[in-house]
């Protein structure tokens, strides 16, 4: 019964989309990689038929667009076949990126919540901070990331922290905005109720504002964790980092290793999916604990 | 004679709104003695809620004076002299029924054992034993409102301020809760200020009915009403009851005709 529902609601629709994507991907690979094969044939002054081109477009060393099975072979090679500690293991690189994502996400969450608490309780903070918070996000991260890394390096901070700082810079924003909204979400009647109990500001915060803000926090954490990952990857680019998914992307583009680029991209996408899903599951668990009516 | 608990002298309250001032209360003078059950009745917008909120220190009057047991409303609020029941149950959706009743007790800093005892006795009082672990959405509207009454009672205040607590409920449930409230009042003799739209409800419950009229909100008439301590529901068919009800209705009608 549940297995059938799972098949119907989840596996079937997702499977269809995945199959469609793979089909389009193959078609695109053939289309994009064929000119190279024709060039080669022309240079060698030989005739080449389409049936000869077809298999070759899927086996180039540096294709414009690698075929899916090439990418999956590379993924398999660099994850399952390699030792995790190896510099060529994608798991190793993912872990490097993941650790700065998680650190940056944690710092961003703490910063975002702290800002929201300040903003909700002090009107001057609301007026003075909010414009800066919004401005901070209008500066392209690609412009600011190298500066953060250089400045932190200059004061002797290197390694994980500069990258995590960029993740924090990106992820605190949705948390601050969502949390501010959440902390302001209690109805006037509930605030009046706390007033009739002559509850202190701290009590009103812990017993009313904070629990009311939890659903808002969960939603903004889902956004924040995926952009924290983007931040960590972007943070690996300007440093010429030797490890991490960003470093793999960069190295791949230096040497025209498109297969490596695509497998790093897929890995990053999978990582993002897993992170968002984890937040989702934790959020659902918290909601259940808080008695949210099942939909 | 019993002593005065709530005393309002020449209360005035004007709300400053975007479309100019709204005169919500004008020259309200009212004394409520200990153990009285006082109903505020009047058409919508005549300031019943506002008056209750002034007593509860949720609203500051712009003129006049209120004292509660000789204290200002703010001092009374800080001393947790009253329990307030809102028109809606106002339960926190993420707390179970028992945790909702526990809320004011936690704020007061009572220990676990005292809290548990008060939760149990007050939920029993409103006939909600067995629903401790349910979340508000799992209860009917009437049950939620009873839970909110239990929550107000758990504070063990000397005074209950109730703003149309049964307004949204159907007649049968309302009758039932009226009976329960009356029993509770007879047992505890708390001072109750009760806002209602319903004449039978006011006459059935009260020792004193304050008829208010709108624009500006003021007291039109104060009607004494003493149907004795033992009031079964069918007292509402007796001549005494109907006489008082008639008086209230006349008062309401007169209050209204000032307008047009
Ligand atoms: N916070 C406020 N700001 C401005 N005007 C208000 C405010 N609260 C109440 N009023 C106005 O004061 C008047 C009295 O309102 P109040 O809520 O006390 O009426 P009520 O007698 O309780 O009515 P109802 O029976 O509909 O609940 C109304 O005209 C209302 O519009
Ligand atoms: Mg009202």
Q: Each residue of A186-196: pLDDT tens digit?
A: 999 999 999 99
Confidence of residue B2 (pLDDT cuts 50, 70, 90): low
- Of the CATH numbers 2.170.150.20, 3.40.50.300, 2.102.10.10, 3.30.360.10, which one belongs to the domain with range B80-195? 3.40.50.300
In a domain, A23, yes or no: yes
Judging contacts by C-beta atoms under 8 Å, the chain B residues touching residue A190 are 90, 92
Residues A107 and A55 in one domain: no
pLDDT at A225 over 90: yes
Give CA–CA dist A282/A91, Å, rounded. 24
In a domain? residue A294: no
> Shortest CA distance to B235 belongs to which of B16, B243, B252, B102?
B243
Does residue B1 register a pLDDT over 50? no
The domain that contains A233 carries what CATH number?
A: 1.10.3720.10
B78 contact residues in A (CB cutoff 8 A): 198
pTM confidence score: 0.82
Ligand 1 centroid, distance to B203 Cα (angstroms): 24
- Asked whether the CA dihedral A274, A280, A283, A288 is positive or negative, the reply is negative
Q: A23 and A149, same structural domain?
A: no
**CB contacts < 8 A (A, B):** 55
Do residues A49 and A101 both lie within one domain? no
Predicted ipTM of the assembly: 0.87
- Among A193, A212, A291, the residue with its CB nearest the CB of B90 is A193
| Nearest Cα to Cα of residue B142 among B113, B178, B177 | B177
B86 interface with A at CB cutoff 8 Å: yes
Q: Are residues A12 and A56 in the same domain?
A: yes
CA dist A147 and A153 (Å) reads 10
Q: What residue ranges of chain B are covered by domains with CATH 3.40.50.300? A: 80-195
Closest CA in chain B for residue A188: B90
Based on the fold, state whether residues A59 and A116 are members of the same structural domain: no
**Rounded CA separation A133/A108 (Å):** 13
Residues A151 and A254 in one domain: yes
Q: Are A106 and A49 found together in one domain?
A: no
User: Relative to the alpha carbon of B48, which ligand is closest?
Assistant: 1
Count of domains observed in chain A: 2
Overall average pLDDT of the A186-213 stretch? 93
Residue A187 counted as domain residue: yes
Cβ contacts of A189 on chain B, cutoff 8 Å: 86, 88, 90
Q: Which residues line ligand 1 (CB under 6 A)?
A: B 15, 17, 22, 24, 42, 44-50, 217
Q: What is the dihedral of CA A62, A63, A64, A69, to 10 degrees?
A: -130
> Which ligand number lies closest to the CA of residue B211?
1
Question: Omega before B216 cis (within 30°)?
Answer: yes
Q: Do A130 and A238 lie in a common domain?
A: yes
Task: With respect to residue A55, please indicate whether it lies within any of the assigned structural domains.
Answer: yes
Q: Do A56 and A108 reside in the same domain of the chain?
A: no
CA of B193 to the centre of ligand 1 (A): 17
Average pLDDT over residues B84-94: 91
The whole domain housing A104 covers: 90-289
């Amino acid at each position: 019964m549940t297995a059938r529902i799972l098949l119907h609601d989840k596996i079937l629709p997702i499977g269809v989309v995945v199959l469609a994507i793979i089909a389009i991907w193959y078609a695109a690979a053939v289309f994009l990689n064929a000119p190279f094969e024709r060039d080669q044939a022309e240079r060698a002054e030989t005739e080449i038929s389409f049936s000869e081109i077809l298999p070759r477009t899927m086996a180039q060393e540096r294709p414009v667009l690698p075929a899916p099975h090439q990418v999956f072979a590379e993924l398999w090679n660099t994850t399952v076949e390699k030792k995790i500690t190896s510099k060529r293991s994608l798991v190793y690189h993912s872990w490097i990126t993941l650790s700065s994502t998680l650190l940056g996400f944690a710092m961003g969450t703490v910063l975002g919540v702290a800002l929201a608490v300040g903003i909700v309780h002090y009107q001057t903070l609301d007026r003075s901070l909010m414009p800066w918070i919004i401005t901070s996000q209008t500066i392209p991260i690609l412009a600011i990331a190298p500066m953060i890394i250089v400045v932190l390096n200059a004061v002797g901070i290197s390694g994980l922290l500069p990258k995590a700082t960029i993740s924090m810079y990106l992820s605190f924003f949705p948390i601050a905005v969502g949390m501010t909204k959440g902390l302001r979400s209690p109805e006037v009647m509930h605030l009046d109720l706390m007033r009739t109990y002559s509850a202190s500001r701290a009590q009103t915060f812990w017993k009313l504002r904070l629990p009311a803000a939890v659903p808002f926090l969960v939603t903004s954490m889902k956004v924040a964790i995926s952009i924290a990952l983007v931040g960590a990857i972007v943070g690996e680019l300007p440093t010429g980092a030797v490890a991490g998914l960003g470093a793999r992307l960069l190295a791949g583009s230096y040497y025209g290793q498109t297969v490596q680029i695509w497998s790093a991209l897929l890995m990053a996408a999978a990582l993002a999916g897993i992170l968002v899903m984890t937040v989702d599951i934790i959020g659902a668990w918290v909601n259940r604990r808080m008695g949210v009516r099942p939909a | 004679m019993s002593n005065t608990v709530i005393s309002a002298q020449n209360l005035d309250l004007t709300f400053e709104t975007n479309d100019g001032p709204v005169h919500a209360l004008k020259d309200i003078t009212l004394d409520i003695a200990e153990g009285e059950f006082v109903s505020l009745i009047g058409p919508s917008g005549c300031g019943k809620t506002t008056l209750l909120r002034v007593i509860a220190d949720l609203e500051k009057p712009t003129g006049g004076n209120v004292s509660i047991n000789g204290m200002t409303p703010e001092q009374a609020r800080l001393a947790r002299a009253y329990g307030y029941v809102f028109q809606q149950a106002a339960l926190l959706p993420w707390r179970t029924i028992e945790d909702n009743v526990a809320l004011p007790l936690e704020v007061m800093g009572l220990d676990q054992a005292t809290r548990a005892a008060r939760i149990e006795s007050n939920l029993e009082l409103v006939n909600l034993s067995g629903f401790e672990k349910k979340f508000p959405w799992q209860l009917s509207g009437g049950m939620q409102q009873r839970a909110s009454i239990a929550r107000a009672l758990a504070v063990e205040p000397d005074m209950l301020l109730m703003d149309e607590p049964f307004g949204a409920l159907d007649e049968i449930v309302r009758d039932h809760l009226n009976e329960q409230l009356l029993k509770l009042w007879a047992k505890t003799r708390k001072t109750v200020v009760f806002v209602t739209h319903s004449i039978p409800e006011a006459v059935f419950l009260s020792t004193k009915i304050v008829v208010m009229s709108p624009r500006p909100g003021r007291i039109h008439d104060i009607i004494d009403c003493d149907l004795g301590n033992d009031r079964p529901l069918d007292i509402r068919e007796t001549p005494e009851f109907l006489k008082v009800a008639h008086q209230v209705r006349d008062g309401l009608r007169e209050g209204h005709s000032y307008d047009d």
